[in-house]
Structure 1
Amino acid sequence: MTFLTSARRGAPLALIAASSLVLVGCAGGSGDEKKNESSADAAACTEYPSGAASDDVTVTGDLGAEALTAEFTAPVEAKELERTIASAGDGEVTAAGDTVNVQITIFNGTSGESTFSQPASMPVGDDTILEAFLAGFECVPVGSRVVTVVPSASLFEGAGNEQLGLAAGDPAVIVTDVIDTVAPVTPVEWKENPAEVVFNGEEPPTLTLPGAQPPAELLLAVLEEGDGAVVGDGDSVTINYQGTSWNTGEIFDQSYGKEPATFATTGVIPGFGAAMVGQKVGSKLVVSIPPKDAYGEEGTGHELAGQTLVFVIEILDAKAAGK
């Protein structure tokens, strides 16, 4: 289950980056949320004022640690979002276009209990990310710890989120550790022993993997070049896809036999998004994604962690970011 609103059909679970399951929403929302009007506007830093509630939070634990403690007066009371940089790092200030590795920990603002902690790679300046989370890593020095206090109306429109441990009406205290920036992911042309794909109309395609060990690189082969618009970073794309684990040889998810999937290129695992950026609508692709560009090495908690994933992709449509 994703937490995208009904304003658009989100990427299926097997495609979405773990961060996107939690942090992405549509551009709509309550009036208490600030909105980034466009990618250009996002380049300028949004002002997130601190307040008594965010200043009151004391966080204990090493930067990037999964288990943090936070002391604050519960229930927290804030009429609007408040942000306090609890400790400023000495790295470069994050800017639109950067992707940052963060550790996000959520505390229920009513009970004071820690309800969620997760590492994530997040794009700065992405106007589809809920402001409650964007505030934690936008325009702050790398190495910072940021405390954000969010009233319930500014987070999931007051409806809460069961998987995050937030009931309807619960405010949240979000601690974001901004660990480092992520180098851009760029696929390499898959020249030697590429996977073979036979398309079968509306039926699932047939994929034949080469009889070799999974490649360590992010490899991409353009099986058929389209003649439509070029997909840009952050664009919303509509695709058909099939995902196979190189390690097991099994198909773990696909859109064939269902509806095509629509999502932002920044809202999926890095290797999948990178494979589509720069390609034309109408193109058919096959991409091999190593664990580092998918769900990480074994032990990171995802059922596909440690596996090389091979996706067959047909790009059906694309819309520019923010439209």
Structure 2
Amino acid sequence: MRFRPLAALSVAAVSVVLLAGCSSSPEPTDTSSPGSGALCEAKLPAGAASDAVEAEGEVGEVPTVSFSAPLEIEDIQSTVLVEGDGEQVSEGDLVNVAFVGLDAETATELGSIGYAGSEVLPQQISAETSIGAFLGCATVGTRVAVTLPADTATGSGAQVYVLDLLDIVPTAAWGEQQEPVEGMPTVELAEDGAPTVTLPEGDAPTEYELAVLKQGDGATVAEGDAVLVQYQGVSWNTGEVFDQSWGSAPATLTTTQVVPGFADALVGQQVGSQVIAVLPPATAYGEGEINDEDLVGQTLVFVVDILGVQQVPTE
């Protein structure tokens, strides 16, 4: 695994770097029970360095971390400091985590993220990612101490992290069901939350339309935020699904990098919500001769489940 110091990273980059996939690491310890799978087996072993780390405070709050500095770190280690009593994570789950980093040489805090909420998007845990190696198949409420040796390639010094597993995030919107809006397309959901859209009879609307199907109670999406979503796009012109995240994995996007109508469906909505938006060409891919390849001239319908938001820091 390769890491840069936390202090050198923007909030948006921390989760990408610290929680990225593992390229190399010590052999994991086998903490699995029969049938528990690769995620349990991916948990890195504890060692003298990680065992030397202590953290005071409740899981979910920024801990006070202490160890005798300088701390000698020869390899990546992970020690369970608090074993949670919540649900056990499984391969592919989306999870919310928070962590604090310290310089192993001086015990100086480098920074923390995730404790204030909406600072980092939910992460997908698996045996192939660093977060999977740090936590394995831990239970919600678990806190681990992770030690990282110096990276000679980047010049980064040895570091210590305390990581809290906060909760498991549903892969579909979980908000309160709302009354359907007359005249809008209707949506039926499969057991996993995947939508099937039925278009009403008649011509496509000429004005933008938006309705909330499920009302969440999480953080509110603002312009410029990164958002984790499940989505499905249907062409009103053909009645066919032209794009969706269902069947693969939730998508991460920013509100400034999508077509205007899609952004308008996100900004102002709360995490946990599901919305449906009807986008005339002017709010989608533009007016013009209909072209199946680039969606120019088509009216589009998007059903969007908002699973998480990473808010842009304000000055």
* TM bracket (short chain): 0.5 to 0.7
Match of 2:90 in 1: 95
Q: Is the 8 A contact 1:99 1:181 kept in 2?
A: yes
Match of 1:113 in 2: 108
Give the secondary-structure state (helix, strand or coil) at the position aligned to 1:54. helix
User: Match for 1:178 among 154, 159, 165?
Assistant: 165
Q: Is the 8 A contact 1:190 1:221 kept in 2?
A: no
Matches within 5 A, 1:52-131: 52-65=48-61, 67-119=62-114, 120=120, 121-125=122-126, 127=128, 129=129, 131=130
After superposition, what is the alpha-carbon deviation per residue over 1:2-45, rounded to whole angstroms, capped at 9, x for unaligned?
A: x99xxxxxxxx9xx987643435466x4x54669xxxx974452
The change in CA–CA distance for 1:286 and 1:69 in structure 2 (over 3 A counts) is farther
Give the secondary-structure state (helix, strand or coil) at the position aligned to 2:112. strand
RMSD: 4.9
Number of matched pairs: 226
Letter in 2 for 1:220: Q
Query: TM-score normalized by structure 1?
Result: 0.53
Letter in 2 for 1:245: A
Q: Is the 8 A contact 2:78 2:144 kept in 1?
A: yes
Structure number with bigger Rg: 2
The change in CA–CA distance for 1:99 and 1:142 in structure 2 (over 3 A counts) is same
Alpha-carbon deviation of 1:247? 7.3
Letter in 1 for 2:124: P
For the residues of structure 2 that align with 1:44 and 1:58, how far apart are their CA atoms? 23
For the residues of structure 2 that align with 1:125 and 1:248, how far apart are their CA atoms? 28
For the residues of structure 2 that align with 1:214 and 1:96, how far apart are their CA atoms? 31
Match of 1:310 in 2: none
Matches within 5 A, 1:139-178: 139-153=137-151, 158-159=153-154, 168-178=155-165
Alpha-carbon deviation of 1:178? 1.2
Q: Is the 8 A contact 1:136 1:175 kept in 2?
A: no
Matches within 5 A, 1:235-250: 242=259, 244-246=262-264
Letter in 2 for 1:51: G
For the residues of structure 1 that align with 2:166 and 2:139, how far apart are their CA atoms? 10
Match of 1:136 in 2: 134
After superposition, what is the alpha-carbon deviation per residue over 1:87-135, rounded to whole angstroms, capped at 9, x for unaligned?
A: 11122332212222221222222332222322242222152x3x3x433
For the residues of structure 2 that align with 1:142 and 1:248, how far apart are their CA atoms? 29
Q: Matched residues, percent identical?
A: 22
Match of 2:233 in 1: 221
For the residues of structure 2 that align with 1:227 and 1:242, how far apart are their CA atoms? 15
Query: TM-score normalized by structure 2?
Result: 0.54
Give the secondary-structure state (helix, strand or coil) at the position aligned to 1:91. coil
Unaligned runs of at least 5 residues, structure 2: 4-9, 29-35, 115-119, 173-192, 216-229, 274-292
Alpha-carbon deviation of 1:46? 1.9
Letter in 1 for 2:233: A
The change in CA–CA distance for 1:303 and 1:114 in structure 2 (over 3 A counts) is closer
Match of 2:218 in 1: none
Alpha-carbon deviation of 1:288? 5.3
Give the secondary-structure state (helix, strand or coil) at the position aligned to 1:45. helix
Matches within 5 A, 1:5-44: 20-25=15-20, 29=23, 31-32=24-25, 42-44=38-40
Unaligned runs of at least 5 residues, structure 1: 5-12, 160-167, 198-206, 250-268, 272-281, 305-323
For the residues of structure 2 that align with 1:213 and 1:56, how far apart are their CA atoms? 53
